Amino acid sequence: MALKYQRILLKISGEALGGEKGTGFDEPTMDAICGGVKKAHDLGVQIGIVVGGGNFWRGRSSGKMERTLADKIGMLATVMNALAVSDKLEQLGVETEVFTSITMPQVAPAFTRKDALKAMADGKIAIFGGGTGNPFFSTDTTTALRAVEVSADIMFKATMVDGVYDKDPHKYPDAKKYDTLTFTKVLEDRLAVMDGTAATLCRDNKLPILVFDLADPDNIAKAVQGENVGTLVYEG
Ligand code: UDP
């Protein structure tokens, strides 16, 4: 089957790595997620991954700690997750290369567009740790940024719901799911799908986002082949 996308940037939330608990690493859940990533990669699509850090730490919910310090801890959490996802994928026989936005050469090389493109062209999955390297940003924004930087066709936002709804589907049984949506509507209606910075970056650079449920890790491969597995956000 033909591929709809040649290069994708996949965002996996940190929480997803923690399974039911949502914290730390849940091995079976990580095996399932990485198995889904491998399936998509086996189809021949180039993949970059950004992992969040919420299974360990989120700067904005760190109580009294000074925010920029709290965010540094959050960014380091994303590096731990990047290394763990890399290890899982390598165990499955997929070659990977981790890049970081904050230099730590003993851990992984610093991100450059050129090296990331080369890694993906060589058949490796590029994994980007450390967020943007700046406080007050999120890993959603990081994914949008890296996607634009490496000229990806689309950002895949793998979440815990099967798309974007007009209101919280867990609270309101009559919530309506969107098949498609514009970034302008996401911003105007303040839909809780991504932060405003990420939405604006995508809109300004014409980068579409597909939001879908990671509970079925096969969704990644399905989406790569153009199956309608969630909500597509783009600006017409
Ligand atoms: N973070 C940051 N700058 C970035 C990306 C992330 O400061 O560019 C910090 C921030 O504290 C954030 C934490 O890293 O709360 C974890 O990222 P995020 O909350 O996006 O993870 P997720 O909720 O997706 O697991």
Distance 227 CA to ligand 1 centre (A): 30
Burial letters 164-176, b for 16+ CB under 10 A, else e:
bbeeebeeeeeee
Q: Distance from the CA of 107 to the center of ligand 1, in angstroms?
A: 19
pLDDT at residue 140, rounded to an integer: 97
pLDDT confidence of residue 61? 85
Evaluate: CB of 26 within 6 angstroms of ligand 1: no
List b or e across 22-46, with b for residues whose CB sees 16 or more CB atoms inside 10 angstroms: eeebbeebbebbbebbbbbbeeebb
Pocket lining: 60 vs ligand 1, CB cutoff 6 Å = yes
Does residue 185 lie in a domain region?
Answer: yes
Residues of the chain with pLDDT under 50: none
- Residues in binding site: 11-14, 53-54, 58, 71, 132-139, 159, 165, 168
> What per-residue confidence (pLDDT) applies to 65?
94
Note whether residue 133 is domain-resident.
Answer: yes
pLDDT number for residue 167: 87
Q: Which residue has the tokens 């079976």?
A: 28
**What is the reported pLDDT for 72?**
97
Q: Full-prediction pTM beyond 0.85?
A: yes
User: What pLDDT is recorded for position 168?
Assistant: 86
Q: What is the CATH number of the domain that holds 20?
A: 3.40.1160.10
pLDDT digits (tens, 9 = 90+) for 100-155: 999 999 999 999 999 999 999 999 999 999 999 999 999 999 999 999 999 999 99
- Confidence (pLDDT) at 236: 73
- Does residue 1 fall inside a structural domain? no
Q: How many domains does the chain have?
A: 1
Q: List the domain range (segments joined by +) for residue 17.
A: 7-233
Residue 2 inside a domain? The answer is no
How big is the chain, counted in residues?
236
User: Residue 113, exposed/middle/buried by CB under 10 A (0-12, 13-18, 19+)?
Assistant: exposed
pLDDT of residue 57: 95
In a domain, 109, yes or no: yes
Distance CA 55, CA 73 (A): 12
Known binding residues for UMP: 53, 71, 132-139
